[in-house]
Every structure is written in C-alpha cells, then in structure tokens.
Amino acid sequence: MSATSPVSAVRPDITTLAVGDVIGTRSVVVDRARLVRYAGASGDFNPIHWNDTVAESVGLPGVIAHGMFTMGAAVALVEDWAGDPGAVVDYQTRFTRPVAVPNPGEAVVEVSAAIGAIDLEARTVRVDLTVTFEGARVLGKSQAVVAL
C-alpha cells in the first residue's frame, strides 16, 4: 500500500474536526502475490482468488481480490489517521463490485475518507470511506466509527 497523505502519529482532536473534512487518501496496490499472502494469513483459499479458470467459470472477469482484504485495506487509512487501530469501534460496508486482479499486473484501489458525523458527547466521529477501482465503487456505505 502506498499512502498519498501522511500517517498521523497522534490522535486527532475532536474539537478541531468538521463534517466534510477529508482525513486522507490512499492507493492500495493489489497483485497476485499479495492475494496469495492474504489467503495464507486468512485461511481463505477459495480458487476465485487465485485461479482464472475457476473464477471465469463462475462468471467473474478473472481472479478477484478477497472482499475482506479490500475492506481491511480501506479501513487501514482510518486506523492510521486515528493513531490507534483500537480506536475504530465500529466498521460496516457493503461489497458492491469485485476487484479484478490481472496476471501479470496489478489492480489499484483508491480510498478516500472524510468526516461524516461528529458526536461530541460520545467523543466519536463517523468516517465515510469512498473506495473505488477503475472509477467504480467497490465498497458501498462504508463507514467507520472512531472513538477520540
């Protein structure tokens, strides 16, 4: 993964945030080697994530990234901004499209995140993520709640 915005070393101050503030952007590069490593770490060895013939036989354009990989890579931007992965107290999304990973080559998933709501009493913010591949959203209604 490569970040296009700096990673925060300290937790953000909730009193300085406003709805609409962009907290960061990131490009996530996905290639077949990364999918193999993720399969080993997650235990998800479904052949649609490594075998083009199987993926195409079930109607996919070819090998696709694991949905949970995409979801986790996207929220990492929020974790880095928060300065603590444990500060993300809720994270929800919908899978809307697959991320096709060519062989050879790589897919690039674009992630941006902005403040969607602020609850000063609870000291939480909702961060809305926009996650796209080839200009189309791959995660829909992607939102993380961060305790600050």
- pLDDT, position 6: 47
pLDDT of residue 3: 46
Decide if pLDDT at 5 tops 50: no
Which residues have CB under 8 Å from 60's CB, separation 6+? 48, 98, 100
Beta strands 106-119 and 22-31, pairing class? antiparallel
Summarize pLDDT for 66-98 with one digit per residue, the tens. Answer: 999 999 999 999 999 999 999 999 999 999 999
pLDDT digits over 16-71, tens only?
999 999 999 999 999 999 999 999 999 999 999 999 999 999 999 999 999 999 99
pTM of the model: 0.90
The pLDDT, as a whole number, for residue 2 is 45
Contacts of 97 (CB under 8 A, 6+ apart): 133, 136, 137, 138
Reduced 3-state DSSP string for the chain: CEECCCCCCCCCCHHHCCCCCEEEEEEEEEEHHHHHHHHHHHCCCCHHHCCHHHHHHCCCCCCECCHHHHHHHHHHHHHHHHCCHHHEEEEEEEECCCCECCCCCEEEEEEEEEEEEEECCCCEEEEEEEEEECCEEEEEEEEEEEEC
Domains of the chain (ranges; CATH) run 2-30+65-147 (3.10.129.10)
Q: Are strands 2-3 and 106-119 parallel, antiparallel or unpaired?
A: unpaired
